[in-house]
Structure 1
Amino acid sequence: MRVALMATCLGDALFPDVPRATVVLLRRLGVDVDFPEAQTCCAQPMINTGYVDEAVPVVRTFVRAFEGYDAIVAPSGSCVGCARHQHGLVARRGADPGLAAAVAEVGPRVHELSEFLVDVLGVVDTGAYFPHDVTYHPTCHSLRMLGVGDRPRRLLEAVRGLRLRPLPAAEECCGFGGAFAVKNADTSVAMGADKVRHVRETGAEVLVAGDASCLMHIGGLAARQRAGIRTMHLAEVLAHTEEPA
């Protein structure tokens, strides 16, 4: 099976440890994963802000970069949601039958990390060891657009040493929402503050999520409150194997 890593813009620019951990994890599980250097943005920021025409060449670049792979794996529910559900809209807007065909071919092969591990590889126990109190935030795109369900939780529950604590109001949005956080800053901060409060109520040391964008938002607010909460991506926890000597 030919597998490609979709690193995402945030992973490339701000959180390189996340795509790096994804590669470490997949290789440990026997997956020979490639990194197509032609990849750029998935076009989500443009599509979500109404610049659909401008997104056409970006989507064209995406399908060219990832064509020929059996699976494309990304540590981001929002980027995967864009590739699977929004690229078709862009292709139709561009009135390009060739692009529409390419999107229809590539889109279904794009997988969020927990989907790929559980559904494609059939793996729940990744061999990870992480002896900490953890709570999990299900991000909006992974929860609502992709329907990943309990896959991330099952993966975390199988991590040796990890103590998973339930998060109150877990399915409430953290308030980031990309451009929403900029255009509606006060509302975004209020929603994020609610999320931080719920995280603190769990007593967990670490907040885990499947999207770096949500972790960036929640982590920034938690840091301003000096809440003492560390944020980590699901991939980073699942790639962790160090045990005390």
Structure 2
Amino acid sequence: MRVALFVTCVNDTLYPRTGQAVVTLLERLGVEVDFPQEQTCCGQPQYNTGYRRQTAPLVKRYSDVFRGYDYVVVPSGSCAAMVRDNYPRVDAEGTADVVARTYELTEFLVDVLGVTDVGAYYPHTVTYHPTCHGLRMLGLGERPRKLLEAVKGLELRELEGARECCGFGGTFAVKNAAVSAAMGTDKARHIEETGADAVCAVDNSCLMHIGGTLSRRGTGVRSVHLAEILASTEEAPL
């Protein structure tokens, strides 16, 4: 099995520990992971802003870079959704093969590897925010929760209004800042009400928005990507 990591722009630039966690986790599960150095942006910012012509070269680059791998694993629901849902709209014929082989991390763990207990240890109370792309476009369903429920030492707490958007939405947060901030405040309040030590999700872009709001409110609640929780063990705790 040849697996490539598509780390994404946000993770590469701001949250490199998430990419490292994915490699640690997959290698612990016996998967050999490659990191093609030629990878770049999936094109989601351009596509969502209406620059579809400028998106096409990035779509082709992704297809070229990840050609030949059995699977491409993505620690981002939004970027995985961009590939799976929007690439066929840009180039249906040229991207069919790579689209079929692209998996968000929890999909790959549960559906391809067939595991929910990955040997993780995280002795904290955690609440889970299902991000919009993972929830509505990829249909991740219970996969992330099943993985969290199997983590030793972790207490999963229910989040009120979990299915509601956190307010980030990429360019939405820029174009509609006041609405975005209000939605973020609502999400942060519900997270605080759980009393959890940390909030996790499958998208660092959403966690950046949520984490910033929580920080400004002085809550002390950490935002952490699901991959980092799953990579944590008793021998090497996060």
Name the counterpart of 2:210. 218
Aligned equivalents of 1:141, 1:201: Cα separation in 2: 24
1:152-193 deviation digits (Å, cap 9, x = unpaired): 000000000000000001000000000000000000000000
Equivalence map 1:191-210=2 (5 Å): 191-210=183-202
Name the counterpart of 1:130. 122
1:17 aligns with 2:7: no
Equivalence map 1:73-152=2 (5 Å): 73-91=73-91, 100-152=92-144
Structure 1: runs of 5 or more not aligned = 92-99
Q: Which amino acid aligns with 1:55?
A: T
Aligned equivalents of 1:46, 1:123: Cα separation in 2: 35
Q: Which amino acid aligns with 1:168?
A: E
CA 1:243–1:35 in 2, change beyond 3 Å: closer, same or farther? closer
State the SS of the aligned residue for 1:111: strand
Q: Which amino acid aligns with 2:229?
A: V
Equivalence map 1:66-77=2 (5 Å): 66-77=66-77
Name the counterpart of 1:173. 165
Aligned equivalents of 1:233, 1:111: Cα separation in 2: 17
How many residue pairs match? The answer is: 237
TM-score scaled by length of structure 1: 0.95
Aligned equivalents of 1:87, 1:3: Cα separation in 2: 20
Superposed displacement of residue 90, structure 1: 1.6
Q: Which amino acid aligns with 1:67?
A: R
State the SS of the aligned residue for 2:169: coil
Identity of counterpart residues, as a percentage? 60
Q: CA RMSD in A?
A: 1.2
Superposed displacement of residue 243, structure 1: 5.3
TM-score scaled by length of structure 2: 0.98
- Runs of at least 4 residues off by over 2 Å: none
Q: Which amino acid aligns with 2:90?
A: V
State the SS of the aligned residue for 2:151: coil
